[in-house]
Amino acid sequence: MLANRDMRTSLQSFGDFQADSLKETGQAGECQVNETFERIESTAQYCGFSLSHFAAIGDGKKNWKSSLMIEATVRPIGGEMDSLETLLDRCGGENQLTEELTNLYGGPLTFERRSEARPFVVVNFVTTIEGLTSYGIQGKAGGGWISGFNKQDVFIMGLLRSFADGVAVGANTLRSEPEHLWTSEFIDKDHETEFVKLRESLGKSRKNPVQIFVTSSGNVLDNMKNLPNAFSAPEVETLIVTTEKGKNVVEKEFKKFSVFPGILVANRVEKPNEVNIPMMMNRLLRDYEIEFLLIEGGSGFNGSVTHAEQYDEYFQAISPKIIGTDKNNPRQISVSGFERSPENSLPHNLISVKNHKNYLFLRWRLN
């Protein structure tokens, strides 16, 4: 085994080499970048490194062209994951997890539908100690940088995605992480086999949850040169939820790529510029058979769902760091876009508390 410093040097020179070859070929095409990732991944694996560590090295390099794409591709690999420790569990219900997943999760997990009018809805996010969810730095805006690519956090994300018939995010999250795929396998490859078993035992008809993007403007692609991964990945269904006006923009934008994603228009006539969240929920259940919907941010979309009281539970991971925020360039909190009075605040029950080392994993249920 190489010494730590040697591994770092060897990966760094490999990174230099890759960055130079990307530079030589000019603007890197998607294929070249993917090929590069594969080589980086196998080299990192060979050296016993995780890609998140490698990304940290690569990102510091001036001529590193593809740090944004690397961010989306990094995930902890290799090595055993320590099980979560359960400090409190008031959830009840019959365990739906496999034995292996029960061990890793540190106990049982189950969900029960509470409304006939909409899917069961879970909102999942990671925050710092002070409740921030993004550095707001290009290439480092995703939740992974907040959690430090914590294995237990990605495991819980993979677990929740295995329960989900659909994963919905706001358009900014897609625009800031165009390489991301909202599937269990993408976020936590280490536990892929167990997640597949769980999906089978839950009787899910789809291999992966539908990837749902919510936009008012319809400008999901925002002049991107390449199509986000979600729209070209095999065995992944996509759906864009938008307004009547937004629909025209979506169709125009996607036509350039000869791609025609599913579109759901869900606005009230009197509010033409926003997706009506109860209407969206109802249509997702009725027309797309989405019985379990996972909401994965960002702050604005979480806010729309929360203010409309269209959710059942919050899963909140707390990363043991403080990153600060500046009034001229504020960093995002987990939920935004509305205010409530003390009389009208949303009450929650704390139903589960887990931890691993200094990380906390909370589960809240809306009263």
Ligand X SMILES: NC(=O)c1ccc[n+]([C@@H]2O[C@H](COP(=O)([O-])OP(=O)(O)OC[C@H]3O[C@@H](n4cnc5c(N)ncnc54)[C@H](OP(=O)(O)O)[C@@H]3O)[C@@H](O)[C@H]2O)c1
Residue 332 touching ligand X (CB under 6 A) = yes
Task: Kindly tell me which of 89 and 274 has the beta carbon lying closer to ligand X.
Answer: 274
304 lines the binding site for ligand X (CB under 6 A): yes
Stretch that binds ligand X, among 110-118, 163-171, 227-235, 284-292 (CB under 6 A): 163-171
Query: Does 316 participate in binding ligand X (rule CB under 6 A)?
Result: no
**Least distance between ligand X and beta carbon 138 (Å):** 9
Phi, psi of 56 (to 5 degrees): -60, -40
Give the SS3 label for residue 324: coil
Site string for ligand X, 275-294 (x = CB under 6 A): x-x-----------------
Nearest CB to ligand X, comparing residues 233 and 323: 323
Q: Residue 22 or residue 84: which is nearer to ligand X going by CB?
A: 84
3-state secondary structure 216-284: CCCCCCCCCCCCCHHHCCCCCCEEEEECHHHHHHHHHHHHCCCCCCEEEECCCCCCCCCCCHHHHHHHH
125 binds ligand X (CB under 6 A): yes
CB of 244 to ligand X, least distance (A): 12
Instruction: Choose which of 18, 52, 162, 216 interacts with ligand X (CB under 6 A).
Output: 216
**Stretches 5-13, 51-59, 78-86, 274-282: which one binds ligand X (CB under 6 A)?**
274-282
User: Does 301 interact with ligand X (rule: CB under 6 A)?
Assistant: yes
* Cα 164 to Cα 277: distance, rounded to the nearest angstrom: 18
Q: How far apart are CA 69 and CA 26, in angstroms?
A: 16
Binding of ligand X at residue 215 (CB under 6 A)?
A: yes
Considering the complex, what minimum distance in angstroms separates the CB of residue 80 from ligand X?
Answer: 25
Is the separation of the CB atoms in 95 and 109 below 8 Å? Answer: yes
Residues in contact with ligand X, counted by CB under 6 A, come to a total of 31
Residue 233 phi, psi (nearest 5): -70, 140
Q: Can you tell me the distance from the alpha carbon of 34 to that of 232, in angstroms, rounded to the nearest whole number? A: 13
Using CB under 6 A as the binding rule, whether residue 176 contacts ligand X is answered as yes
Closest CA to 237 of 221, 266, 260: 260
Q: At its nearest, how many Å lie between ligand X and the CB of residue 12?
A: 27
Return the residue matching tokens 């569990």: 89
How far is residue 104's CA from residue 317's CA, in Å, rounded to a whole number?
Answer: 16
Using CA atoms, how far residue 28 sits from 39, 175, 251, 308, 339, in Å, is: 15, 19, 27, 42, 44
| Closest separation in Å from C-beta 85 to ligand X | 22
Positive or negative: CA dihedral 146, 149, 154, 155: negative
Out of 52, 299, 306, 352, the residue judged to bind ligand X by CB under 6 A: 299
Q: Which of 169, 187, 221, 240 is in the footprint of ligand X by CB under 6 A?
A: 169
CB of 190 to ligand X, least distance (A): 20
214 binds ligand X (CB under 6 A): yes
Subset of residues 37 to 66 that bind ligand X, contact rule: CB under 6 A? none
Kindly state whether residue 152 participates in binding ligand X, applying the rule CB under 6 A.
no
Pull the structure tokens for residue 238: 């996509």
Torsion of CA 58, 62, 68, 69, to 10 degrees: -60
Stretch that binds ligand X, among 67-75, 105-113, 181-189, 216-224 (CB under 6 A): 216-224
Give me the residue whose beta carbon is nearest to ligand X. Answer: 298
CA 136 to chain CA mean position, Å: 16
* CB of 49 or CB of 311, closer to ligand X: 311
Does 217 participate in binding ligand X (rule CB under 6 A)?
Answer: yes
Give the footprint of ligand X on this chain (CB under 6 A). Answer: 125-126, 133-134, 141-143, 146, 169-173, 176-177, 214-217, 219, 274-275, 277, 296-301, 304, 332
